[in-house]
Amino acid sequence: DKDKRCRIAVGSVEPVARRWAALEQAMAADSASALDPERTAGLALEHNDFQGRDGKEAEGWYRRQVLAPLVKRGVAALLKTGRLV
């Protein structure tokens, strides 16, 4: 946003999509993490406070498990565009 803070929303993990406030706060406290996909993925693992829902397409544990790799890929993609500087 205009204050250079990261906003992360997650859908399909819990019954209702929501912002990932715990990860947003961790990234704000460790500003270098926004420029390091590996570090951000580590923070995602540490701050995964989601309760994965089971569904026909995926079990809850899997929905939680894929969040850190998705965060890593997202940060790497944003870095390539130059939007995380």
- Does residue 64 fall inside a structural domain? yes
66-79: pLDDT as tens digits: 999 999 999 999 89
Q: Per-residue pLDDT for 1 more than 60?
A: no
- 35-54 average pLDDT score: 96
Mean pLDDT of the chain, nearest integer: 91
Q: Per-residue pLDDT for 45 more than 80?
A: yes
* Model pLDDT, residue 24: 95
25, 64 in Cβ contact below 8 A? no
Q: In the chain, how many domains are there?
A: 1
Separation between Cα atoms, residue 58 and residue 5, nearest integer Å: 31
- Does residue 2 fall inside a structural domain? no
φ, ψ dihedrals at 70, nearest 5°: -65, -40
- Does residue 65 fall inside a structural domain? yes
8-29: pLDDT as tens digits: 999 999 999 999 999 999 999 9
- Does residue 3 fall inside a structural domain? no
